[in-house]
């Protein structure tokens, strides 16, 4: 029976992933900031087959609370097989361009909180000598674009940090998975005008995440075709890219 810790557990992608682990009879520990949604999710996951579901409240930006919450999770689960970090916000890019504090708050939520959590989890997993730390980054971190470069910068920070962790924790037998979804139909993208052909359902992304954890993949593009889309985007010469208005 696997023991799974999920931070940002009420995110649509995290919920879909938790449902897949519940079906396998896993023991779940869910962390999020919305107590009501957390309680509803916990009930649903028990019905779906989870062997147990414990929960804890955390606003990830309250960094002083991260340590005690993770300590409690470790006490409850014992050895953690998988820790998934899934929280995030797709901030108002235009607003961030006009207001430095707003831009920094986006960076705080999407990068700083995650780097702090990763630092704490790395210590826990290094002692375990086993398990997977999985983090949802984004294809948006692969190249800065005018439409979302504040969010993209935060995701690039997560990706680079995790590349370092992959090499550090490899020596302790710990797997670090960097997850780069493309466009996914979740509350985060609701109301945006997106090319329907490129938008994936959260359950498909969850399937890919569970598989990548099992295979100990280093970097997952999900759905798969984003690997090729991003390979093209990364290689567009800057002189052309600046004019493309992506």
Ligand X SMILES: NC(=O)c1ccc[n+]([C@@H]2O[C@H](COP(=O)([O-])OP(=O)(O)OC[C@H]3O[C@@H](n4cnc5c(N)ncnc54)[C@H](OP(=O)(O)O)[C@@H]3O)[C@@H](O)[C@H]2O)c1
Among 19-27, 54-62, 92-100, 212-220, which window interacts with ligand X (CB under 6 A)? 54-62
117 makes contact with ligand X (CB under 6 A) = no
Of 85, 81, 67, which Cα lies nearest the Cα of 123? 67
Between 43 and 189, name the residue whose CB sits nearer to ligand X: 189
Query: Could you say which of 4, 6, 13, 210 contacts ligand X (CB under 6 A)?
Result: 13
> What number of chain residues touch ligand X (CB under 6 A)?
25
- φ/ψ of 99, rounded to 5, equals -140, 105
C-beta of residue 1 within 8 angstroms of C-beta of residue 80? no
Measured between alpha carbons, how far is 80 from 57 in angstroms, rounded to an integer?
Answer: 19
Catalytic residue among 21, 151, 221, 228: 151
Between 11 and 159, name the residue whose CB sits nearer to ligand X: 11
**Smallest gap, in angstroms, from Cβ of residue 98 to ligand X?**
21
178 makes contact with ligand X (CB under 6 A) = no
Query: Could you say which of 56, 60, 134, 150 contacts ligand X (CB under 6 A)?
Result: 60
188 makes contact with ligand X (CB under 6 A) = yes
Computed from CA positions of residues 121, 127, 132, 138, in that sequence, does the dihedral angle turn out positive or negative?
Answer: positive
Read out DSSP for 116-135? HHHHHHHHHHHHHT--EEEE
C-beta of residue 154 within 8 angstroms of C-beta of residue 61? no
**Which tokens sit at 114?**
């995650």
55 makes contact with ligand X (CB under 6 A) = no
149 is catalytic: no
Q: How many CB atoms lie within 10 A of CB 134?
A: 24
Between 86 and 150, name the residue whose CB sits nearer to ligand X: 86
- φ/ψ of 45, rounded to 5, equals -70, -30
181 makes contact with ligand X (CB under 6 A) = yes
138 makes contact with ligand X (CB under 6 A) = yes
Between 78 and 191, name the residue whose CB sits nearer to ligand X: 191
Contact set for ligand X, span 77-96 (CB under 6 A):
86-89
C-beta of residue 11 within 8 angstroms of C-beta of residue 87? yes
11 makes contact with ligand X (CB under 6 A) = yes
**Smallest gap, in angstroms, from Cβ of residue 113 to ligand X?**
7
Peptide bond into 82 cis (omega under 30): no
C-beta of residue 206 within 8 angstroms of C-beta of residue 13? yes
**Smallest gap, in angstroms, from Cβ of residue 94 to ligand X?**
18
Measured between alpha carbons, how far is 226 from 222 in angstroms, rounded to an integer?
Answer: 6
Catalytic residues: 151
- Name the site residues for ligand X (rule: CB under 6 A): 8, 10-13, 32-34, 59-61, 86-89, 109, 136, 138, 181, 183-184, 186-189
């Amino acid at each position: 029976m696997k023991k799974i810790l999920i931070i940002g557990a009420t995110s649509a992608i995290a919920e879909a992933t938790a449902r897949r682990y519940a079906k396998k009879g896993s023991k779940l520990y869910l962390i999020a900031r919305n107590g009501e949604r957390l309680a509803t999710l916990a009930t649903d996951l028990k019905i779906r087959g989870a062997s147990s579901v414990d929960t804890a409240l955390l606003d990830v930006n309250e960094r002083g609370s991260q340590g005690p919450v993770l300590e409690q999770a470790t006490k409850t689960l014992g050895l953690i097989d998988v820790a998934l970090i899934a929280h995030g916000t797709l901030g108002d890019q235009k607003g961030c361009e006009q207001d430095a504090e707003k831009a920094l708050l986006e960076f705080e939520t999407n990068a700083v909180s995650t780097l702090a959590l990763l630092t704490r989890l790395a210590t826990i997993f290094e002692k375990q000598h086993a398990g997977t730390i999985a983090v949802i980054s984004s294809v948006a971190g692969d190249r800065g674009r005018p439409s979302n470069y504040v969010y993209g910068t935060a995701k690039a920070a997560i990706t680079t940090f995790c590349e370092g962790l992959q090499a550090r924790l490899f020596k302790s037998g710990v797997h670090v998975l960097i997850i780069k979804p493309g466009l996914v139909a979740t509350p985060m993208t609701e109301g945006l005008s997106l090319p329907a052909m490129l938008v994936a359902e959260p359950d498909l992304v969850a399937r890919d995440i569970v598989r990548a954890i099992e295979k100990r993949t280093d970097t997952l593009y999900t759905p798969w075709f984003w690997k090729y889309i991003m390979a093209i985007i990364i290689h567009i010469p800057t002189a052309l890219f600046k004019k493309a208005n992506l």
